[in-house]
Amino acid sequence: MKTEDSASVLLEFANSARGNLAVSQVAAGRKSRIGIEIYGTRKSAWWSSEDPEVLHVGQRDGANETVVRATPAFGAGADGLMDYPPDTWRGSRTRSR
């Protein structure tokens, strides 16, 4: 690859958990997308800035879930971690629930 716009870092945490951080600007068609994916042995979670109101949860032994921000399924404990009211990023459009 003849670009400096891609990097990958392997991580090891104090509790021996491991991770990978990948950063790239070489994917054609993706405009300023930020994605976070966390994978465990029983569950996974992923989020994308292209649809920031939604958190996806995958489960090995059950159905996958799609959790919408500011709904009871998201959990009351998350309120303090949200720094803007729901749907403000969409301007005048609102998300149907």
Domain-embedded: residue 65: yes
Domain-embedded: residue 68: yes
Mean pLDDT in consecutive groups of 10 residues from the start of the chain, 97 residues: 76 91 77 85 91 90 89 71 59 46
Domain count across the chain: 1
Q: What is the DSSP string of 12-41?
A: E-TTS-EEEEEEES--TT--S--EEEEE-S
pTM for this one? 0.65
For residue 81, the enclosing domain spans: 33-90
Domain-embedded: residue 16: no
* Cα–Cα distance measured from residue 69 to residue 14, given in angstroms and rounded to the nearest whole number: 31
* Cα–Cα distance measured from residue 42 to residue 59, given in angstroms and rounded to the nearest whole number: 6
The pLDDT of residue 80 is 66
